[in-house]
């Protein structure tokens, strides 16, 4: 099956998405997500100007060889732009191979290891009361796992709380908007949030929280200890993880499970975290960690320790990534949980898909391939609109901090 053409489709149905479409001489096409929030055009150019010329004429069935060619052959390895581009090619090729085999992607990976993919929803509120109401709303919809993020008294804007409650979209301006931050106010407030949430939902709902890289290791250790009475499923991105060793300090002080990795793009970013059992869940994704091919390698390393998967699934990962992720999640033996921030109706219309939600679980469906398509005519009605993620400054002196 020869690759005859490939093109990048950039669209903005409420937010920007970058999609790679690969065509073959057998009339089959494959899709891959290449969306990198706030840096979309960098990946679009990497694909169009540097990758696609090398794909034409290659055998689409040679997924591994093409992956190695694009990784080793780039010389400049790793990084979010390179690995998102490789991921898009890899995902499209797995889509093609499963379609050519006449089966859903999860069957090609090794079949279903579970009946469905447990997901967690995002309950966000401007304050504790509204966040509790949102958590109860998700519980009523059948979610078994719910992430809670709320505004912090004294801070105007914080991560995870957007305009309204149904959808949170962090890329909110033509140039980066500025948030203010106070670790002290956050550390005082968050245990109160989870005391109220746990009292409201009872003991059986999995509760999650995203610190979003904001704390130092010792501050993260303190928060982990303060949250222990509320039995979190995980505390995510407790501290920036370029220094993987930093998690050893957190690990020494708390039994609150730790998750990290949505910004990682190869196994090298998490090798030490996994091998030293400094985390419990690895959050790497199909779109940002080199596609299905590389994500399997990360999951296999994690399975030795035993670290489970908990892939990122925010609105800025397209339905193409979500579809492929669900096939991966249904198969992978050391599955933990899948984030499901949901997309808007206009996004879902551009990306028709086979996956379905029921009673707190997603299922990828039985369509061949990953089961997600793109309506190119509709996508063309939503041209790219530059949008940046915010930046964050310490409230007391304006120091640029982690967003
Ligand atoms: O866990 C999460 O969903 C967050 O960390 C994301 O919303 C993240 O802020 C965005 O994906 C960044 O583009
Ligand atoms: Mg996160």
ipTM of the complex: 0.99
pLDDT digits (tens, 9 = 90+) for 138-177: 999 999 999 999 999 999 988 888 766 677 788 888 999 9
CATH top class, domain 3-104: alpha beta
With a threshold of 0.95, does the pTM exceed it? yes
All residues at 6 or more sequence positions from 202 whose CB lies less than 8 Å from its CB, including other chains: none
Pocket test for ligand 1, best of 312, 313, 325, 338 (most atoms within 8 A of CB): 312
Active site annotation includes 159: yes
pLDDT digits (tens, 9 = 90+) for 96-147: 999 999 999 999 999 999 999 999 999 999 999 999 999 999 999 999 999 9
Q: How far is the CA of 314 from the centre of ligand 1 (A)?
A: 6
The span from the CA of 285 to the CA of 318, in Å, is 12
Q: Which two tokens stand for residue 212?
A: 């979003």
Residue nearest to atom 2 of ligand 1 (CA): 314
pLDDT for the residue 162: 73
The catalytic residue among 46, 106, 138, 159 is: 159
Q: Check if 3-104 and 109-366 are the same fold.
A: no
All residues at 6 or more sequence positions from 107 whose CB lies less than 8 Å from its CB, including other chains: 98
Q: Domain map of the chain by residue range?
A: 3-104, 109-366
DSSP 256: S
Domain covering 109-366 in this structure, CATH number? 3.20.20.120
Percentage of the chain beyond pLDDT 90 is 95
The span from the CA of 37 to the CA of 169, in Å, is 10
pLDDT digits (tens, 9 = 90+) for 11-55: 999 999 999 999 999 999 999 999 999 999 999 999 999 999 999
Residue nearest to atom 5 of ligand 1 (CA): 212
* Rg (alpha carbons) of the chain, rounded to whole number: 20
Which residues does a 6 A CB cutoff place in the pocket of ligand 1?
A: 37, 170, 210, 212, 262, 312, 314, 316, 339, 341, 389
Of 90, 94, 74, 198, nearest to 148 (Cα)? Answer: 198
């Amino acid at each position: 099956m020869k690759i005859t053409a490939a093109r990048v489709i950039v669209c903005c149905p409420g937010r920007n998405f970058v999609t790679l479409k690969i065509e073959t001489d057998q009339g089959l096409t494959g899709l891959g997500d290449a969306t990198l929030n706030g840096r979309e055009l960098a990946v679009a150019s990497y694909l169009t100007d540097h990758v696609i010329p090398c794909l034409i004429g290659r055998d689409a069935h040679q997924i591994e060889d093409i992956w190695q060619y694009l990784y080793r052959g780039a010389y400049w390895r790793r990084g979010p732009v390179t690995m998102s581009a490789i991921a898009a090619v890899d995902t499209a090729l797995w889509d093609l191979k499963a379609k050519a085999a006449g089966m859903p992607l999860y069957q090609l990976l090794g079949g279903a290891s579970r009946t469905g993919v447990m997901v967690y929803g995002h309950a966000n509120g401007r304050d504790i009361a509204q966040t509790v109401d949102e958590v109860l709303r998700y519980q009523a919809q059948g979610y078994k796992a719910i992430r809670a993020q709320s505004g912090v008294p004294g801070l105007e804007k914080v991560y995870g709380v957007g305009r309204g409650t149904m959808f949170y979209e962090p890329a909110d301006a033509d140039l980066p908007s500025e948030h203010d931050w106070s670790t002290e106010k956050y550390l005082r407030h968050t245990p109160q949030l989870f005391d109220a949430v746990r009292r409201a939902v009872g003991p059986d709902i999995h509760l999650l929280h995203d610190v979003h890289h904001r704390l130092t290791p010792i501050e993260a250790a303190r928060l982990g200890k303060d949250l222990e009475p509320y039995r979190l499923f995980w505390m995510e991105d407790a501290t920036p993880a370029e220094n993987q060793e930093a998690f050893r300090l957190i690990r020494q002080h708390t039994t609150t499970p730790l998750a990290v990795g949505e910004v990682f793009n190869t196994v090298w970013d998490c090798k030490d975290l996994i091998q030293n059992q400094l985390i419990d869940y690895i959050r790497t994704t199909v779109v940002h960690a080199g596609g299905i091919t590389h994500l399997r390698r990360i999951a296999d390393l994690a399975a030795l320790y035993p670290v489970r998967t908990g892939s990122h699934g925010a609105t800025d990962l397209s339905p193409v990534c979500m579809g492929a992720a669900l096939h991966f999640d249904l198969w992978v033996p050391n599955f933990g949980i899948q984030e499901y921030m949901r997309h808007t109706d206009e996004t879902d219309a551009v990306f028709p898909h086979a996956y379905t939600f029921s009673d707190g679980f997603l299922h990828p469906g039985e369509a061949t391939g990953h089961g997600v398509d793109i309506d190119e005519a509709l996508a063309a009605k939503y041209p790219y609109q530059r949008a940046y993620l915010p930046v964050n400054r310490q409230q007391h002196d304006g120091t640029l901090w982690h967003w």
